[in-house]
Amino acid sequence: MEIKKDFSLKLHNTFGLDVKAKQYIAVTSTEEIKHILKRFYASELFILSGGSNILLTKDLEKTVVHLQSQGKELIEENENQVRIRVQAGENWHQFVLWCIEQNYGGLENLSLIPGCVGTSPIQNIGAYGVELKDVFHSCKAIHVQSVNEEEFTKADCQFGYRNSIFKNKVKGQYIITSVDFLLTKKNHQLKTGYGAIQEELSKPAYHGEVSIKTISEAVIAIRKSKLPNPKEIGNSGSFFKNPIVDLSYLAFIQKKYPEVPFYQIDEKQVKIPAGWLIEKAGFKGMRKNDAGVHKKQALVLVNYGNATGQEILNIAHQIQKTIQKEFNIQLEAEVNII
Ligand code: EPU
């Protein structure tokens, strides 16, 4: 394991921010992680995975541990299902494509999400009507103090909307080393209910075929049409969570904006798209220097080249302040601000 000093993280965060780490170590196995945890105090370390859900606002006076473990392993299978163990450093989208090639169903709606497998449970990644928890079996994680590897079942993880125990009760206490997925081998549960998927699949290019492969292709096409490719324009996907409000509050907003979109969560609450609120507040497409709000999806903050994390954070704060004032809603960042 080579320790690099004053290492630029520009290529290792999808916002493309040129922030330096005091030290940087790439690790490729659980043994290497354990070795580092025994050598450093946990408080001296910063654990980096795909870098797709962080906004780095300053240089890191820590040792960055970059998780790069690779590997997929079939743990068990029967006629209908397969359980696959995937190492934390595997690229998420490449793993999804591999599953589709094997005809393993369950992850197709989660195509083209940036990041790595190991961080997927932390915020229970979700898109187009599917969340990670729907296919999650368990994960292994090392406790940073005891350096023991422990197993977390689905119930242990306490998954919620963009939420899990790893963001709450045990935040910063564990490093996830592998994730087990339960996937279907036949009778796949195809989920096309999310508006845009059906519309996309009805295009002639799909020849009326509805399968895990075409759903993945449709999701990729939809995402490409509205979300900026981090390789071209730095971004971290949705910057904020969609706020959850009571039905009575929705009715209040509807008086002024009868067209407000919403997703029903239960009999009492709905989620309002933060992108819609931000657009209504006039921020869509705004730009200050190289920091801005994406033209096609107001929920995505972008770095056009040389923005600093602080400039992006300033826009985020300005958005939060305005939405609070105009809608009396507190937008919560989905991205981790460092
Ligand atoms: N909308 C606007 N203006 C905008 C953006 C959106 O009016 O600038 C409206 C749309 O017209 C639509 C609604 O908001 O009626 C929802 O938009 P969209 O379907 O694009 O989804 P979203 O709620 O903005 C969520 C996830 C995305 C995920 C999509 C699809 C969150 C915070 N974001 O976005 O996740 O891909 O649904 O399932 O829940 C991510 O987490 O990084 C991410 C991209």
Give the number of the atom of ligand 1 that is nearest the alpha carbon of residue 53. Answer: 42
Does residue 207 lie within any of the structural domains? no
Does residue 283 lie within any of the structural domains? yes
Residues 90 and 170 reside in one and the same domain: yes
Give the number of the atom of ligand 1 that is nearest the alpha carbon of residue 128. Answer: 38
Does residue 104 lie within any of the structural domains? yes
Q: Of the residues 30, 52, 67, which one is the last residue of a structural domain?
A: 67
Is residue 39 part of the annotated active site? The answer reads no
**Cβ 242 under 6 angstroms from ligand 1:** yes
Residues 273 and 333 reside in one and the same domain: yes
Residues 246 and 324 reside in one and the same domain: yes
Give the whole-number percent of the chain exceeding pLDDT 90: 98
**Cβ 234 under 6 angstroms from ligand 1:** no
Write out pLDDT tens, residues 19-65.
Answer: 999 999 999 999 999 999 999 999 999 999 999 999 999 999 999 99
**Cβ 37 under 6 angstroms from ligand 1:** no
Q: Of the residues 18, 43, 67, which one is the last residue of a structural domain?
A: 67
**Cβ 230 under 6 angstroms from ligand 1:** no
Kindly report the CATH number assigned to the domain that includes residue 55. Answer: 3.30.43.10
Residues 62 and 135 reside in one and the same domain: no
Name the H helices within the chain: 30-39, 92-101, 154-157, 195-201, 212-226, 247-256, 274-280, 309-327
Place of tokens 């290497």: 32
Kindly report the CATH number assigned to the domain that includes residue 116. Answer: 3.30.465.10
119: pLDDT strictly greater than 90: yes
Residues 43 and 94 reside in one and the same domain: no
Q: Find the catalytic residue in 69, 162, 200, 223.
A: 162
Write out pLDDT tens, residues 280-305.
Answer: 999 999 999 999 999 999 999 999 99
Residues 147 and 92 reside in one and the same domain: yes
Residue nearest to atom 5 of ligand 1 (CA): 275
Kindly report the CATH number assigned to the domain that includes residue 314. Answer: 3.90.78.10
**Cβ 108 under 6 angstroms from ligand 1:** no
Band of pLDDT at residue 194, cut at 50, 70 and 90: confident
Give the 3-state secondary structure of residue 267: coil
Which residues span the domain enclosing 62?
Answer: 4-67
Residues 55 and 110 reside in one and the same domain: no
Contacts of 31 (CB under 8 A, 6+ apart): none
Q: Of the residues 169, 184, 199, which one is the last residue of a structural domain?
A: 184
d(CA 99, CA 115): 16
195: pLDDT strictly greater than 90: no
Mean pLDDT for the stretch of residues 236-256: 96
Name the H helices within 64-203: 92-101, 154-157, 195-201
Residues 169 and 251 reside in one and the same domain: no
Kindly report the average pLDDT of the chain as a whole number. 96
Residues 160 and 247 reside in one and the same domain: no
Write out pLDDT tens, residues 154-168.
Answer: 999 999 999 999 999
Is residue 61 part of the annotated active site? The answer reads no
Does residue 223 lie within any of the structural domains? no
Does residue 98 lie within any of the structural domains? yes
What local confidence, expressed as pLDDT, does residue 100 receive? 98
Q: Ligand 1 centroid vs 30 CA: distance in angstroms?
A: 36
Domain count along the chain? 3
Angle, helix 212-226 to helix 92-101, in steps of 10 degrees: 150
Is residue 238 part of the annotated active site? The answer reads yes
Does residue 314 lie within any of the structural domains? yes
Phi, psi of 85 (to 5 degrees): -100, 125
Q: Ligand 1 centroid vs 246 CA: distance in angstroms?
A: 19
Residues 76 and 154 reside in one and the same domain: yes
Does residue 289 lie within any of the structural domains? yes
Write out pLDDT tens, residues 199-244.
Answer: 999 999 999 999 999 999 999 999 999 999 999 999 999 999 999 9
Residue nearest to atom 43 of ligand 1 (CA): 238
Residues 17 and 116 reside in one and the same domain: no
Does residue 192 lie within any of the structural domains? no
Q: Ligand 1 centroid vs 275 CA: distance in angstroms?
A: 6
Residues 103 and 62 reside in one and the same domain: no
Give residue 144's Cα distance to chain centre: 23
- Would you say 48 and 25 are in contact if contact means Cβ atoms under 8 Å apart? no
